[in-house]
Homo-oligomer: A and B are copies of this chain.
Amino acid sequence: MTPIIRIQHEDFDLSDEIAALSYGRADIGAVVSFIGLCRDEAGTLAALELEHYPGMAEAEIARVACEAAARWPLLGLVAIHRYGLVRPGEQIVMVLAASAHRRAAFEAADFMMDYLKTRAPFWKREHRADGTLGGWVEAKAGDDDAAERWNR
């Protein structure tokens, strides 16, 4: 099982990824996927700008994926993270874990997202609807706590 990791500006399609993963095989019984979307509850956001560390972003997500593959009997693992400007309502990140049974798929997808949040070198900045540049989004302590769950 070779994890698929893509860092790209372009949008992605979850169904296409699942189809590509499961095409021509009948051993996958469960696919759990996560999609993170750009939120703008206040209506003041024009876009989020996602800066990343090219090279390390792929490498670090690959390391997290290898840890997931070592912990759970996975038949497929895909992680796609966009960079550049992403508008409210658009997709930012996708993680997909496939296994024979649902428990492994749920846990691996959950694990991937927790670690991706705290370890993948991406930084978000707000571009406001009024044309001004907003600040860098602050990291949440809760994200570290979430990742820490997996060490218990």
Which residue of chain B is the closest to A103 with respect to CB atoms?
B146
- Identify which of residues 29-43 in chain A touch chain B, using a CB-to-CB cut-off of 8 Å: 29-41, 43
Could you tell me if B34 and A34 are in contact, using CB atoms closer than 8 angstroms? no
Could you tell me if B113 and A102 are in contact, using CB atoms closer than 8 angstroms? yes
A64 within 8 A of B: no
Instruction: State the main secondary structure of chain A at its contact with B.
Output: mixed
**Distance, CA A87 to CA B107, complexed state (A):** 27
List the 10 shortest-distance A-B pairs measured between CB atoms, nearest first: A26-B88, A15-B15, A26-B40, A29-B39, A31-B35, A26-B89, A14-B15, A33-B33, A27-B41, A106-B110
Could you tell me if B41 and A26 are in contact, using CB atoms closer than 8 angstroms? yes
Interface residues of A (CB under 8 A from B): 13-16, 18, 22-41, 43, 45, 88-89, 100, 102-103, 105-106, 109-110, 113, 146
Known: A14-B15, A15-B14. A106 touches B103 (CB 8 A): no
Could you tell me if A39 and B15 are in contact, using CB atoms closer than 8 angstroms? no
